Structure 1
Amino acid sequence: MSTTVTETPAARVERPTSRVETFLSRHAAMMPTFAAVVILVLLLVGAEAFLRGDFITPRNLSALLLDNAYLLILAVGMTFVILTAGIDLSVGSVMAFTGILGAQLLVAGVPVWFAVGAMLVGGAAIGLLIGVLVQYFDVQPFIASLAGLFLARGLAFVVSLSSIRVEQPGVLWLQQNRIRIGDWYLTPTGILALAVVGLAAFVLHLTRFGRTVYAIGGNEQSARLMGLDVARTKVAAYVISGLCGGLAGLVLTAYSGAGYPRNGIGTELDAIAAVVIGGTLLTGGRGYVLGSLIGVMVFGTIKTIISFMGAEQSWMQIIVGALLLLFIVVQRAIVARSERRR
Structure 2
Amino acid sequence: MSATVVTPSSPIATAAGRVRDWLTNPKYGPVIVTAVLLVGMFAVGATRYRGFTNPQVIANLFIDNAYLIVLAVGMTFVILTGGIDLSVGAVLAMSTMIAASLLQAGWAPGVIIPLILLATSFLGLAVGLMIHYFQIQPFIATLAAMFLARGLCYVISKTTISITDPVFTALAQTRIPLAPRLSITPSVILAVLVVIVAVVVLHYSRLGRTVYAIGGSEASGVLMGLPIARTKVLVYVISGFCSGLAGVLYSFYTLSGYALTAIGTELDAIAAVVIGGTLLAGGYGFVLGSVLGVLVLGTIQTLITFDGNLTSWWTRIFIGALLLVFIFLQKVLTARRT
TM-score by length of 1: 0.94
Please name the residue that 2:272 is paired with.
274
The reply on whether 1:55 has 2:52 as its aligned counterpart is yes
Whole-angstrom CA distance in 2 between matches of 1:13 and 1:179: 46
**Which residue of the other structure, out of 230, 245, 248, is the alignment partner of 2:246?**
248
Q: Output the amino acid matched with 1:331.
A: Q
Q: Residues 179 and 14 of structure 1: is their aligned pair in 2 closer, same or farther, counting only changes over 3 Å? A: closer
Name the % identity. Answer: 47
Runs (5+) with no aligned partner, structure 1:
none
1:14 deviation in Å? Answer: 10
1:126 deviation in Å? Answer: 1.5
Whole-angstrom CA distance in 1 between matches of 2:75 and 2:116: 18
For residues 2-59 of structure 1, what are the alpha-carbon distances to aligned partners after superposition, in whole Å with 9 as ceiling and x for unaligned?
97655679x76995388437743895411101110001001111011111x3201012
Q: Residues 29 and 89 of structure 1: is their aligned pair in 2 closer, same or farther, counting only changes over 3 Å? A: same
**Which residue of the other structure, out of 53, 62, 66, is the alignment partner of 1:65?**
62
Q: Tell me if the contact between 1:99 and 1:119 (Cα under 8 Å) persists in the aligned partners.
A: no
Deviates more, 1:281-290 or 1:303-312: 303-312
Runs (5+) with no aligned partner, structure 2:
none
Q: Residues 303 and 25 of structure 1: is their aligned pair in 2 closer, same or farther, counting only changes over 3 Å? A: closer
Q: Residues 34 and 101 of structure 1: is their aligned pair in 2 closer, same or farther, counting only changes over 3 Å? A: same
Please name the residue that 1:123 is paired with.
120
Deviates more, 1:23-32 or 1:117-126: 23-32
Please name the residue that 2:193 is paired with.
195
Q: Tell me the secondary structure at the aligned position of residue 185 of structure 1.
A: strand
Please name the residue that 1:164 is paired with.
161
For residues 124-178 of structure 1, what are the alpha-carbon distances to aligned partners after superposition, in whole Å with 9 as ceiling and x for unaligned?
1221111111101100000000001000000111111111111112122222111
Deviates more, 1:203-212 or 1:308-317: 308-317
Q: Residues 94 and 13 of structure 1: is their aligned pair in 2 closer, same or farther, counting only changes over 3 Å? A: closer
Spell out the pairing of 1:302-341 with structure 2 (5 A cutoff).
302-310=300-308, 311-339=310-338
**Which residue of the other structure, out of 89, 108, 132, is the alignment partner of 2:129?**
132
Deviates more, 1:216-225 or 1:117-126: 117-126
The reply on whether 1:86 has 2:90 as its aligned counterpart is no
Q: Output the amino acid matched with 2:228.
A: V
TM-score by length of 2: 0.95
Whole-angstrom CA distance in 2 between matches of 1:190 and 1:12: 45
The reply on whether 1:173 has 2:170 as its aligned counterpart is yes
Q: Tell me if the contact between 1:126 and 1:152 (Cα under 8 Å) persists in the aligned partners.
A: no
Q: Tell me if the contact between 1:102 and 1:118 (Cα under 8 Å) persists in the aligned partners.
A: no
Whole-angstrom CA distance in 1 between matches of 2:46 and 2:184: 22
* Count of aligned positions: 336
Whole-angstrom CA distance in 2 between matches of 1:138 and 1:231: 12
Q: Tell me the secondary structure at the aligned position of residue 263 of structure 1.
A: coil
Q: Tell me the secondary structure at the aligned position of residue 180 of structure 1.
A: strand
Q: Tell me the secondary structure at the aligned position of residue 28 of structure 2.
A: helix
Q: Tell me if the contact between 1:96 and 1:153 (Cα under 8 Å) persists in the aligned partners.
A: yes
Q: Tell me if the contact between 1:276 and 1:328 (Cα under 8 Å) persists in the aligned partners.
A: yes
The reply on whether 1:289 has 2:291 as its aligned counterpart is no
Whole-angstrom CA distance in 2 between matches of 1:70 and 1:119: 15
Q: Tell me if the contact between 1:77 and 1:244 (Cα under 8 Å) persists in the aligned partners.
A: yes
**Which residue of the other structure, out of 232, 236, 257, is the alignment partner of 1:238?**
236
The reply on whether 1:145 has 2:142 as its aligned counterpart is yes
Whole-angstrom CA distance in 1 between matches of 2:294 and 2:218: 28
Q: Residues 26 and 320 of structure 1: is their aligned pair in 2 closer, same or farther, counting only changes over 3 Å? A: closer
